[in-house]
């Protein structure tokens, strides 16, 4: 019985000491997922622009999950959600929306540099306006020690890199 109690104490100590590390891993996975979701939307918008032979836009949207007709926002950051939609579709926003992405989990930010409310892909698959970087980072429960930077070149090529600055925009 004493041996069993000693084993249980050791297991409890290991779990207690490793819990903060698991929290960090969980938050890191969520940050990576946010960056990958954006990359998926960029690839989708680019391929849809080529397929439809017209412009396709990605814009930040504050009303993705509100039940209201989807619309683009000029305020706030990309963490509030975004829309991928056919710029040349009918005026009915429900017909134009290709994909709606929900908001990121609370405490995560996604900011564009230079500041951009939308990304537009032309029929040739090129990003109108040139290079844009979007930085995914976390503010809560505390600022993280790394961020994910999604870089979209003028040709539409997308890369994700990790930075260790810990400075959440």
pLDDT-based confidence at residue 93 (cuts at 50, 70, 90): low
CATH code for 2-163? Answer: 3.55.40.10
CA distance 157 to 150: 10
Domain layout of the chain by residue ranges: 2-163
- H or E element, residue 23: helix 2-52
Q: Which pLDDT score, from 0 to 100, does residue 167 have? A: 63
Q: In angstroms, rounded to a whole number, what is the distance separating the alpha carbons of residues 1 and 140? A: 43
Where residue 162 falls among pLDDT bands split at 50, 70, 90? confident
How much is the mean pLDDT over the chain? Answer: 83
pTM: 0.79
Long-range contacts (CB closer than 8 Å, 24 or more residues apart) made by 65-72:
65/102, 65/103, 69/93, 69/94, 70/94, 70/97, 70/100, 72/117, 72/118
pLDDT, tens only, 9-52:
888 888 777 666 677 777 788 888 889 999 999 999 999 999 98
DSSP string, 37-102: HHHHHHHHHHHHHHHHTS-EEEEE-S-SSSSSPP---SSS-GGG-EEEEETTS-S-HHHHEEEEEP
For 167, the token pair is: 């400075």
């Amino acid at each position: 019985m004493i041996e069993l109690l000693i084993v249980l104490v050791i297991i409890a100590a290991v779990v207690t000491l490793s819990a903060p590390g698991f929290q960090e891993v969980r938050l890191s996975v969520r940050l990576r997922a946010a960056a990958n979701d954006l990359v998926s939307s960029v690839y989708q918008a680019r391929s849809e622009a080529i397929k439809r032979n017209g412009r396709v836009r990605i814009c930040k949207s504050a009303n993705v999950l509100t039940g209201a007709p989807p619309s683009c926002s000029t305020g706030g950051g990309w963490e509030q959600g975004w829309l991928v939609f056919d710029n040349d579709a009918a005026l009915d926003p429900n017909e134009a929306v290709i994909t709606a992405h929900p908001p990121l989990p609370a405490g995560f930010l996604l900011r564009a540099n230079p500041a951009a409310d939308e990304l537009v892909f032309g029929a040739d698959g090129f990003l109108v306006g040139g290079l844009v970087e979007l930085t995914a980072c976390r503010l809560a429960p505390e600022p993280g020690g790394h961020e994910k930077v999604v870089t979209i070149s003028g040709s539409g090529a997308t890369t994700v890199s990790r930075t260790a600055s810990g400075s959440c925009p």
